[in-house]
Structure 1
Amino acid sequence: MSSRTIFGSADDQAGRPRPIRFGIVLLPNFTLTAFSGFVDLLRLASDDGDMSRPVRCTWTILAESRVPVRASCGIQVTPWVTFDEAGAFDYLVVVGGLLHSGPSASDATLRFIRAIAASPATIVGICTGAFALARAGVMDGYRICVSWFHYWDFVERFPALPESSLIADRLFVIDRRRITCSGGRASIDVAAAILLRHLDAGIVQKAQRILIVDDAQRGNAPQPYPPGLDPASHPKVRRAILVMEQHIGSPLALTELARRVDTSVRQLERLFIAEIGKSPNVYCRQMRVRMAAWMLTGSDRTVADIAMSCGFSDASHLGREFRKEFNEAPSAYRITRAHAHQPAEFNA
């Protein structure tokens, strides 16, 4: 699609270019930040001043029914129209969120995605919305951007899609009439990239400045990763670190960690040494100590309580490991750092 092109009739009766039409589907347990960031940039770019009228673009929240859709944080959004009532769109935006909490996209939602994909519209998957697009069968032959956080989940759920098509080191990917985005704050960036196809750059940049995100990122900007990891790090290493984070209070044995990421203990150790220069056990221990340091300066919890929360047997165990990392006891660290600054990220 060429720059400044709008689908369909070019002008309305008033002689103005027809608004860009966005249909937005919110999946159960969608991420509120991803949704609000995307739609707020549309709102701010759509009108002048502080009017927020749908002049340059319109947006419609739609679903199978008008039953409110619950975000992962508990806030509910009521769809404006049902799929049967929906008109034509230039972009269909599917916003996902939590993968393992409740139902995913319904059969009716998947059918609707397939129907829109057969039209001239462009399909956009934000956060785990890309999973719904893959389930609908509309991503064959396209590159797919997924968060590094969900990379291995995607591989496990869609083994027929080649791993070479997965992009987990960029904020978003535009591939012809498919756009996928890693989620979070990047939803603002992908909204800006879409609007720049149709609107003057000054309009989009003004909207970004109002949101205080005038440092908009391009799609090839790297996703944020755990401390010490390069964006090109092996996916099994990234997956192992994610599993470590999920079990920080009750660390897994190395054999179980290797099983979770479908590799051998020996291979996992080799990958960690090659990618970050430390063994999985050392990395996990440092992660837990750093979490304890953050809790010491950011909460009033006792050292014993923090020790248990971070997977140490007791306060003495935490104290021994803490001294190796910071050369002081947890209680002393709390006193000297509580009113200074938060601990820096460790250089894994």
Structure 2
Amino acid sequence: MAANKVFPRGVPREQNARLTVGFVLVQRFTLCAFANFVDVLRLAADEGDRSRPIQCRWKVIAPDLRPITASCGVSVQPHEVFASPRLFDYIVVVGGLIDETDTRDEKVEAFLQQAAEAGVPLVGLCTGTFILHRAGLMEGYRGCVSWFHHLDFLSQFDGLKPVSDQIFVVDRDRLTCSGGTSTAHLAAFLVDRHIGKAQSTKSLNIMMISGAEDGGAPQPGLTLDFRTKDPLVRKALLLMQQNLDAPLSVLDVARHLEVGKRCLERHFRDALGTSPLSAFIEMRLLHARHMLENTDKSIAMIAAESGFCDSSHLSRMFRRRYASTPQGFRASALGRSA
């Protein structure tokens, strides 16, 4: 276990801390991913709820002390420059905007490689998984990414298949997470491992997060079951994904992407062999199926969240696609898991 590592002479450890974390924030990092993770540590660290870093300690580390700007515009001042990665039990890389992952930082990559060579576990939050892959540190490991970035990963790392249907993955000394509130669950997992379940539960309760989820919990979204490198089609699919409960017309999608309706239809036909409308209906049915399998929501609620007029509309479309009613599909799924 990482907390029991023996540190060489000349590398001081934080007194009494049972869990120490070094955060590496990339430019345009996702503030939500960082804040959720660090707040779990903060709330678990103090015996008196005064935010004192007693049982957990953390620092933001960087190649230099210049402020690092999040994607929302908030800047964070690093505590110190890179030193020995063995000062920490974990090095956590917080990624951000997908366009920024293409810009490689040699100093960051060198530090992460140094940490890996020293046996310090590496954690990738949000697109931090991309950064670890780009640094050559995920070979032979399973890596988790958000369903939102599934196709981005496939396009950047040929032949590699990410895990994008669960909230985080722990594979030996690589821990990767889809981002958002799932980073709180990964942090709680580490607090539970190193400090105790009571502290991890306390943190989540104070943050109004109902119970710890294990890594296998499904992401609150779907991986897109459409494979294409056509950038226009990918943008359209992501726009559809973000509007499942209030479906846009094909014309609205085309207008949003600043192309003609016929142009969009031609791209879908060439890339996927189907129409934008058919792809959108398929996506909404996949979302409904996912909720039938993984939640106890009513059929009416699932219909509303999947963009269908009512439960009857969902049932007609579902039966046409899967040769089963939503109720029958749920019953079969429960039987398989029993």
TM-score normalised according to structure 1 size:
0.68
Separation of aligned partners in 1, 2:281 and 2:185 = 35
Q: Deviations over 1:161-189 (max 9, x none)?
A: x32xx100000000000000000011100
Separation of aligned partners in 1, 2:100 and 2:143 = 23
Aligned residues of 2:166 and 2:217 also touching (Cα < 8 A): yes
Q: How does 1:64-75 map to 2 (within 5 A)?
A: 64-75=63-74
Q: Counterpart of 1:213?
A: 209
Q: How does 1:83-94 map to 2 (within 5 A)?
A: 83-84=82-83, 88-94=87-93
What letter matches 1:250 in structure 2? H
Separation of aligned partners in 2, 1:210 and 1:159 = 42
Q: Counterpart of 2:199?
A: 203
- Select 1:168's aligned residue among 160, 164, 171: 164
- Select 1:187's aligned residue among 183, 188, 206: 183
Aligned residues of 2:86 and 2:120 also touching (Cα < 8 A): no
Separation of aligned partners in 2, 1:110 and 1:139 = 13
Report deviation, 1:204: 1.3
Q: How does 1:53-64 map to 2 (within 5 A)?
A: 53-64=52-63
Report deviation, 1:84: 3.9
Q: Deviations over 1:121-177 (max 9, x none)?
A: 1100000011100010000000010001001111111114x32xx100000000000
Q: Counterpart of 1:19?
A: 18
Shift of the 145–103 alpha-carbon distance from structure 1 to 2, 3 Å rule, reads: closer
Q: How does 1:26-65 map to 2 (within 5 A)?
A: 26-65=25-64
Separation of aligned partners in 2, 1:102 and 1:197 = 30
Report deviation, 1:70: 0.4
Q: Counterpart of 1:114?
A: 113
Partner-residue secondary structure (3-state), 2:193: coil
Report deviation, 1:211: 1.0
Separation of aligned partners in 1, 2:25 and 2:139 = 22
Shift of the 241–82 alpha-carbon distance from structure 1 to 2, 3 Å rule, reads: same
CA-atom RMSD in angstroms: 3.1
The percentage of aligned residue pairs carrying the same residue is 37
Report deviation, 1:104: 3.5
Report deviation, 1:245: 6.1
- 1:147 and 2:138 equivalent? no
Report deviation, 1:6: 3.1
Q: Counterpart of 1:311?
A: none
Shift of the 101–174 alpha-carbon distance from structure 1 to 2, 3 Å rule, reads: closer
Separation of aligned partners in 1, 2:19 and 2:185 = 17
Separation of aligned partners in 1, 2:49 and 2:281 = 54
Q: Deviations over 1:87-114 (max 9, x none)?
A: 6211000001111259744111111111
Aligned pairs, how many?
A: 266
Partner-residue secondary structure (3-state), 1:196: helix
Separation of aligned partners in 1, 2:94 and 2:223 = 26
What letter matches 1:181 in structure 2? C
- 1:250 and 2:250 equivalent? no
Separation of aligned partners in 2, 1:189 and 1:181 = 9
Q: Deviations over 1:62-99 (max 9, x none)?
A: 11111100000000001111114766211000001111
Separation of aligned partners in 2, 1:54 and 1:276 = 45
Report deviation, 1:216: 2.2
Separation of aligned partners in 2, 1:61 and 1:81 = 7
Q: Flag structure 2 segments of 5+ consecutive residues without an equivalent.
A: 243-251, 287-302, 309-313, 315-338
What letter matches 2:273 in structure 1? V
Shift of the 76–274 alpha-carbon distance from structure 1 to 2, 3 Å rule, reads: closer
What letter matches 2:207 in structure 1? L
Q: Counterpart of 1:293?
A: none
Q: Deviations over 1:257-312 (max 9, x none)?
A: 466xxx3434988876766569xxxxxxxxxxxxxxxxxxxxxxxxxxxxxxxxxx
What letter matches 1:234 in structure 2? D
Q: How does 1:304-315 map to 2 (within 5 A)?
A: none
Answer with 65-74 or 102-111: which moved more: 102-111
Separation of aligned partners in 2, 1:158 and 1:258 = 25
Q: Counterpart of 1:236?
A: 227
Q: Counterpart of 1:178?
A: 174
Q: Flag structure 1 segments of 5+ consecutive residues without an equivalent.
A: 226-230, 279-342
Aligned residues of 1:145 and 1:182 also touching (Cα < 8 A): yes
What letter matches 2:149 in structure 1? H
Shift of the 277–54 alpha-carbon distance from structure 1 to 2, 3 Å rule, reads: closer
